[in-house]
Structure 1
Amino acid sequence: MRQQRKEEIMAILYANTRDASEKVTASQAILNGLAKHGGLYVPTEIPKLDIPVEELAKMSYQETAYAVMSRFLTDFTEEELKNCIDRAYDSKFDTPEIAPLVEADGAYYLELFHGATIAFKDMALSILPHLLITAARKNEVKEDIVILTATSGDTGKAALAGFADVEGTKIIVFYPKNGVSPIQEKQMVTQKGDNTFVVGIHGNFDQAQTGVKQMFSDPEMKAELLQAGYRFSSANSINIGRLVPQIVYYVYAYAKMYANGRIAAGEPINVVVPTGNFGNILAAFYAKNMGLPIAKLICASNENKVLYDFFRTGEYDRNREFILTSSPSMDILISSNLERLIYRIAGENAEENAKLMAALSTDGKYTITDEMKAQLENFYGNYTTEKETAEVISALYEKTGYVIDTHTAVAAGVYGKYKAETKDETKTVIASTASPFKFTRSVMDAIDEKYDSMTDFELVDELSKIANVKVPQAIEDIRSAAVLHKTVCEVDEMPNIVKEFLEIR
């Protein structure tokens, strides 16, 4: 089929997963971030990607982004959307492909860490500020936008880098003070920009995320902000403006595999995604529903294996010990984006979904019906232990010389378990979500214990040497950077901290 022109593409609205009465345009969904009553915005339908793979194979990353995103963000003009894409996917990325594929030990690693902060969050957070500012202009918003975000390590820095000194915005990031890697923390607390504010909390990511959601849902705080000339929005993957750009790289990866002669047109692939908040694998699910030939969606967890248990039993239960691991961006027990999938398998019934989310809030768990569970047959869940994660890094390096980070190792480890269980030889893409330089100590300890006595930046140089990879600019930039953000607070102090930064009395 021929590619549709922009004006022929059917308008898509965004529904609230907890309130059937709320439907908004794409730009309004991006602006709001979170829907009413704590719901999330989902497209009223998944558009079809009716472009032959032979055409997709000839497209640049930017062209692929327009082909995918124009089908979801239908109230953006062609000029507006292309302008956002061109500003996002430029020289900030250290490779012209934006998301290169690397073949190693029988799998295809989709390197999503070539952006400014060397993690996959750059893929969406490079474009979100431009989408948000465009959305604000389209909707004649007069207030300054306050980006309020919780991070388990990577979203924070990528959002800070994206929004730093963007006119008409401020950004406040909360992170678990003792729950991120030293490099992740240094990246955040050295962030420049008069409109940026970084706060460590004495608590874990789930507590930070809950605190942020409560502020979004607080009518009194909303009124105080409006009076002071502000409105909240989000840079977390709860914002549909984060999720839609993530669909792009799965389409791009498939097209590149075809272009490189690795698959035939229409040949299915599997996708493995290390995930805690479920957004990255949900993007792959949306790509599949657009018509991309993805067979199995393999959901990889670390020892915080709440998603593995959910796919195995149909019960989502966050009532368990929160474990700090070497893959901290996945140290999450409340997978916010799973709600979008639950809403879908509940027949897009907002009332039913709201009941399940209320049970999660009050009891810390919910159980889906057998009918809902039957709709998850394309998903496979598993997890790796800390020991297994380290063994995967070491084994892949010994065998191929290719070095992966801890999160990617979780995915590779789960893929190994999947193959052993199923004997499935379908060609497989593994989402490589962060540079090994971001988790240098864990990576180098896995490769050889002799590195234990080195400082973090000595390890960076050693990793560069053994992997034969140049030290990323993002790491060079923080070697001697001054710490600019030193605020630490308790969880219940988060609203007051926000008001102080915004000078709301």
Structure 2
Amino acid sequence: MGLPGAGKTTVGRIVGQKLGCRVIDVDDDVLETTWNMGVSEKLQDVGSEQFLEEEGKALLNFSASGSVISLSGSNPMHAATMQHVKKNGIVVYLDVATRDILDRLELMKVDRIVGQGSGTSMRNILQFRKQFYKKWYDARIVCESGITAEAIADKVLEAVRRYQDSKSETFISTRHKRLGEGEENDSVYFSDAVIVGLAPDGGLFVPEKGLPKFTAGEWQHLLGATYVERAQTILERCIHPADVPASKLGEIVETAYGENFTCSKIAPVRHLTGNQFLLELFHGPTASFKDFALQLMPHLFAYCIPQNCNYLVLVATSGDTGSAALDGFSRLNNIDKQRIAVAVFFPEDGVSQIQKSQMIGCQKENAWAIGVKSDFDFCQTAVKQIFTHSDYTGFLTVEYGTALTSANSINWARLLPQVIYHASSYLDLVQKDIITFGSPIDVCIPTGNFGNILAAVYAKMMGIPIRKCICASNQNNVLSNFIKAGLYDLRGRRFMQTSSPAIDILKSSNLERYLHLIANGDGQLVTQLFSQLESQCHFQLQKDLLERLQQDLVADWCSEEDCLAAIHSVYCTTGYILDTHTAVAKVVADRLQDRTCPVIISSTAHYSKFAPAILQALRIAEIKQNPLSQLHLLSSYSPLPPVHRGLLETLKKNEKQTHQVCAADVNVLMTQLETLTQNQFMKVF
């Protein structure tokens, strides 16, 4: 299946020859035989609308098992036809760039196709048709420019093999033990990893065979694509269709990114100064990069879970994850909201006032914000302890038919969507002619839990030419010290509250995934390192692993004074306001980049979320306590970018909402969760 000129017949013949199968061309072998006239003659005789009906009827009466069938370019526009086709075979879509199709049609002297009315350009009718193809295919073949029909045929065969082998893509724990003779494999599928969140042994799930690699041509194929199109193409290669079919995945991606972001580009890249560019990740509904995962993940989760069970999603947040999770899960449809609830634990005094107000304001009937009288590390540890408390989880299952899972970045479905925007930002620089494809870039990312920077490493593994990932820490600089010397050391470390609270983290969960990667999947080594961290509060990487780590990563940290000074300096020279986390990255990028290639700085949150610190950095003397008043004051300066509209509206609507506050005691938290679960889900009798 594909656009006219996509090469369906040519590729179909090669595939048929390789498989030893009969090849049927719908135009030549079905339609013309049925009608006793040529296709173009029939179209001229009955017109486009009637042609589609008669073409559809002809195919509904046709079946041919064990064959390779080349559909017509217009078959996918007839729903009943495609339902018949999908019941009887695997539908493969040859995704050829529109510019290549136009060139081929010109050579073939084709100037009009089915459905093309007068005044409609060929480009527009081709774009119109693509929406129908997206509904029906089981596997997409990205046909990069210049690829031969033989190579496309090989891709088709590989895609069919993948589609038929649901066991080919499994996930293992980062603490996975190498199997002895006779031992059962403990790997799981994507849907299992999404549902469970944390592996039973306390490790994190990773793809057993790693992430797929795109060729340079496949990446270049996505240059003219929208963010939604890029996201779907990348995710299709990372999620097996047995877990989430391509058509369903397309619906989910469209729901997540179609209308929920205030910028049509979703994740635009903006020039800042010199060779520095900002990847603006704050245009989602809650104004932080967490929206990219948490507008998508709840819908993946709702699709993957069994229909006969309730789920309580636990989240620990240092700020931005909380409101993003609450907003994302509250956008589920009403049926899903009756069986899925989310509880967010956040440090009561460890997030900004606006972040707290936003979380409280994002509460819905299935989405709860719970303040904890401690720091983020306690919240994160508490979630892990609750998960591994078998008596408690068993009690919830028996009494309330409710299972626990996580939406923190320990969940693979939280991490995977972040790979997309790192890839997309590189493609945007190519599209803007700032670089040519293949030229290297550096990325600089404010880092706390290590998920965002790990996603950049994964994008690099998939073929994006990232040279160095620059890890930017604030004064909680355990990570930057570790990257420099290989010693992860929490002994005597004092947690420090800063103006960049989302990276006020001492234990970086996703570091475990990265160490598993560079250790070539040595789960026993990972177990040893993190067991030592738990028992002795430190571990040291061996020399070869540190050298491998430093091939990907460099790091430094930024003081509070330097952070605020950077906000002031950038505003004075450009009129642009950085948020505190982005300012941390800007300071570190200035120190570590060598200016031989562009550096993309991840702007992970909108400055509106940290108004008091921003007002202080801009040296505005009188700072009002009310968050809304602070945003109105910022808005009066006509800043670039403008104050985040969605955040402003959330605060306006929800000034009087309240929330639960609990002591820093895991037992207290479990009691609170049981109360909320009892109120949300019907008790099992």
Query: Does the alignment pair 1:39 with 2:203?
Result: yes
Shift in Å, 1:92: 1.1
CA distance in 2, matches of 1:41, 1:411: 28
Shift in Å, 1:229: 0.6
- State the AA in 2 paired with 1:495: M
Q: Deviations over 1:166-215 (max 9, x none)?
A: 32201111000000001100011122421122111110000000000011
Shift in Å, 1:496: 1.5
Once the two structures are superposed, the pairs formed by residues 79-478 of structure 1 within 5 Å of their partners are 79-106=247-274, 107-136=276-305, 140-164=306-330, 166=332, 167=336, 168-227=339-398, 228-319=400-491, 320-376=493-549, 377-419=551-593, 423-452=594-623, 455-466=626-637, 467-468=639-640, 469-478=642-651
Give yes or no for contact 2:357–2:655 (8 Å, CA) kept in 1. Answer: no
Give yes or no for contact 1:53–1:258 (8 Å, CA) kept in 2. Answer: no
Partner of 2:186: 22
- State the AA in 2 paired with 1:209: Q
Instruction: State the SS of the aligned residue for 1:491.
Output: coil
CA distance in 2, matches of 1:151, 1:192: 15
Shift in Å, 1:498: 1.1
Q: How many positions carry a matched residue from both structures?
A: 499
Runs of 4+ deviating beyond 4 Å: 3-10
Query: Does the alignment pair 1:73 with 2:239?
Result: yes
- State the AA in 1 paired with 2:292: M
- State the AA in 1 paired with 2:611: T
Distance 1:402 1:142, change over 3 A: same
Give yes or no for contact 2:565–2:617 (8 Å, CA) kept in 1. Answer: yes
Instruction: State the SS of the aligned residue for 2:311.
Output: strand
Give yes or no for contact 2:448–2:505 (8 Å, CA) kept in 1. Answer: yes
Partner of 1:13: 170
CA distance in 1, matches of 2:410, 2:490: 19
Shift in Å, 1:486: 2.4
CA distance in 2, matches of 1:86, 1:480: 27
Give yes or no for contact 1:197–1:485 (8 Å, CA) kept in 2. Answer: no
Q: Deviations over 1:443-473 (max 9, x none)?
A: 1210114243574323312322321525422
- State the AA in 2 paired with 1:269: I
Superposed CA RMSD in Å reads 1.7
Q: Unpaired runs of 5+ in structure 1?
A: none
CA distance in 2, matches of 1:436, 1:85: 27
Give yes or no for contact 2:363–2:369 (8 Å, CA) kept in 1. Answer: no
Instruction: State the SS of the aligned residue for 1:37.
Output: coil
Instruction: State the SS of the aligned residue for 1:479.
Output: helix
Shift in Å, 1:9: 5.1
Q: Which moved more, 1:140-149 or 1:372-381?
A: 140-149
CA distance in 1, matches of 2:452, 2:257: 19
The structure with the largest alpha-carbon Rg is: 2
Share of identical aligned residues, percent? 35
CA distance in 2, matches of 1:7, 1:449: 62
- State the AA in 2 paired with 1:434: A
CA distance in 2, matches of 1:452, 1:304: 26
Q: Unpaired runs of 5+ in structure 2?
A: 1-141, 145-154, 178-184
Query: Does the alignment pair 1:499 with 2:674?
Result: yes
Shift in Å, 1:476: 2.4
Distance 1:449 1:41, change over 3 A: same
CA distance in 2, matches of 1:249, 1:62: 11
CA distance in 1, matches of 2:261, 2:441: 26
CA distance in 2, matches of 1:456, 1:29: 39
Shift in Å, 1:479: 2.6
Give yes or no for contact 1:33–1:233 (8 Å, CA) kept in 2. Answer: yes
CA distance in 2, matches of 1:290, 1:192: 37
CA distance in 2, matches of 1:256, 1:214: 42
Give yes or no for contact 1:129–1:163 (8 Å, CA) kept in 2. Answer: yes
CA distance in 1, matches of 2:633, 2:162: 51
- State the AA in 1 paired with 2:428: K
CA distance in 2, matches of 1:18, 1:53: 33
CA distance in 2, matches of 1:122, 1:276: 17
CA distance in 1, matches of 2:467, 2:247: 35
CA distance in 1, matches of 2:359, 2:558: 28
CA distance in 2, matches of 1:271, 1:29: 28
Give yes or no for contact 1:198–1:485 (8 Å, CA) kept in 2. Answer: no
Give yes or no for contact 1:17–1:41 (8 Å, CA) kept in 2. Answer: yes
- State the AA in 1 paired with 2:676: F
Q: Which has the higher contact order (CA 8 A, sep 6+)?
A: 1
Query: Does the alignment pair 1:48 with 2:209?
Result: no
- State the AA in 2 paired with 1:497: Q
CA distance in 1, matches of 2:422, 2:386: 33
TM-score by length of 1: 0.95
CA distance in 1, matches of 2:625, 2:647: 20
CA distance in 1, matches of 2:624, 2:253: 44
Instruction: State the SS of the aligned residue for 1:452.
Output: coil
CA distance in 2, matches of 1:270, 1:87: 31
Q: Deviations over 1:354-396 (max 9, x none)?
A: 1111111111111111111111122001010000000110111
CA distance in 2, matches of 1:485, 1:317: 38
